Chains A and B, each alone.
Chain A
Amino acid sequence: MKDDIKEKEVILKIENLSIAYGEKLAVSRVNLGFRKNQVTAVIGPSGCGKSTLLRAINRMNEFNPIVKTEGNISCRGQNIYGSKVDPTDIRRTIGMVFQKPNPFPKSIFNNIIWGPKINGFLKDPDQVVETALKRAALWDEVKERLHDSALDLSGGQQQRLCIARAIAMNPEIILMDEPCSALDPKSTAHIEDLITELRSNYTIIIVTHNMQQAARISDETAFFYEGRLIEFGVTKMIFTKPNHKQTEDYITGRFG
């Protein structure tokens, strides 16, 4: 299995990335590559910079004017932070699912078609909605009430709707920022199954503080501590034979 993983193409490459909030360094000189059609988990204690790193990938940090980003992130060789690159274009190809389910106060149907619509590539709305909802394993539950408000769904359903919404954009990469932290165990299991299935079509980067979750669903794992990448490797290895003492201490629950 280990060799399989190493053969897969690196689609997203982070080089020498440092991110600061004003004077405070949140991410420090990180080098990391994410492989295509794989789930990569980013773990580490609160405040280790993992969410900041994730939000750097689709340039969401830019809404906070005090954030300064240095270094390079490239997707298929194209520099995401290039001077001529429009962050809006980046966000179209790199989707994101957030910690708290955040459906728009619109119908289920309109939640899904909104992205394609504003970006001008919506051709067959019914088809887009059906495909996205099927991929997000939500179709059977909501097909009878597509025009009801998305806010009437349960938390777990809302989160799957948000995943469907990201899928409808046809992204290459989907970023997930602790997508299960606001959900109950049953919904969490549902989303985890879904993530495993989505791997065949998308590259998934998931930030999680739940180590069992990282162990269950990811192919590779990156462990962060105080803004630095401590260890990166095949998930099985990280969780059975970590190379660093800090990694071991964290995954065995000695701190975090």
Chain B
Amino acid sequence: MTKAKWIDKTLEGFLILCVSMTALTTLSVVLILGKESLSFFSHVSIVDFLFGTRWEPLLEPQSFGVLPLVCGTFLIVMGAMVIALPAGLLIAAYLNEFASNRFRSVVKPVLEILAGIPTVVYGYFALTFITPQLKTVFPEMQVFNAASGAIVVGIMILPMIASLCDDGFRAVSTTIRDGAYALGARPYEVMTQIILPSAKSRVAAAVILAMSRAIGETMAVTLAAGATPKMTLNPLESIQTMTAYIVQVSLGDTPAGGIEYQTVFAVAALLFVMTLTMNLIGNHFIYKGR
């Protein structure tokens, strides 16, 4: 074998190793989640788990209905989307059709910095800044509450939505944009009636991927939203999300191997299925938008 060929082979082998590492990691996560969840579901019926409305695995009598955690997650995700979607769309629209190049070149990096702040910082920001502010408006509000968590998760996913929508708008070809302007259209007409409809599947992808990110968000909601699994849609109350529950058990002194410990895997498996589904749908929309 020549030397060049030898290098080629070695390099190829190394690259295959790198690729298989990521594949293996994913695979082992799925395997472990599956194995532990299966053993959980041999004790608790999957119907009780999915449709039960009381989540008290650590107290007697135990109850394993996951809906309160799903409800808490849902509350956070919806609240975050209510904040982030309109703001993200407006930012993307502004950057695309109205802002000067110079302004754009300043704002885009700022948005990206926002995306790079560690989520635990956001959590403390929610607890020490947003909650006290909210309390001046709603004095009856609990210290740990869904609203504060939702707001901060909204801020966290805002750059993602703005950036994905911006890319989507940008992907609308300049020839279509030119065509619209050549008919005497104004920027807001071009934006709302030509670009937005053309980019709708990319916007849908942005929404779903951001929701997936919000569902999986951990630190901020663990810190800000509380640890009280509850079926409520009132954002002023303390709730618990799926991720926050996993943190609570992982950090606590629940002995490994027991049914209480396995709940974490069941919740994680459900979380995994939810985010995986949303990512698949989101990527499908991105693909469709091309």
Contacts and interface: CB of A to CB of B under 8 A. Distances in A.
Q: Does B bind A? A: yes
Interface of A: 58, 60, 63, 65, 88-89, 91-92, 95-96, 98-100, 102-106, 114-115, 118-119, 162, 165-166, 169
A175 B189 CA distance: 22
B173 interface: yes
Contacts of B186: 88, 118
B101 interface: yes
A88, A99, A162: most-surrounded residue (chain B CB, <10 A): A88
Interface in B69-122: 100-101
Contacts of B189: 118
A118 B185 CA distance: 7
- Kindly list the 3 A-B residue pairs having the minimum CB-CB distance in the complex, ordered from nearest: A115-B183, A92-B184, A96-B182
Contact of B176 (A88, A92, A104): A104
Nearest to A118: B189
Interface stretch (B47-55, B142-150, B190-198, B262-270): B190-198
Given A60-B182, A100-B175, A118-B183, 14 more contacts: A63-B181, A88-B185, A91-B181, A98-B178, A102-B173, A102-B175, A106-B197, A114-B183, A114-B193, A115-B184, A118-B184, A119-B184, A162-B179, A169-B183
Contacts of A114: 180, 183, 193
Contacts of B101: 65
Interface of B: 100-101, 173, 175-176, 178-186, 189, 193-194, 197-198
Contacts of A103: 179
A65 B182 contact: no
Most buried by A among B173, B180, B183, B185: B183
Given A65-B100, A118-B189, A105 B197 contact: yes
Contacts, number: 64
A172 to B, nearest CB: 13
A126 to B, nearest CB: 19
Given A65-B101, A100-B175, A118-B193, A95 B185 contact: no
Contacts of A63: 178, 181
A166 B197 CA distance: 21
B181 A60 contact: yes
Given A102-B175, A118-B189, A58 B182 contact: yes
Contacts of A106: 197
B184 A169 contact: yes
B97 to A, nearest CB: 10
A92 B198 CA distance: 23
Contacts of A105: 176, 197-198
A165 B183 CA distance: 8
Contacts of A102: 173, 175-176, 178-179
B183 A91 contact: yes
Most B C-beta atoms less than 10 A away, residue of A58, A118, A166: A118
Contacts of A98: 175, 178-179, 182
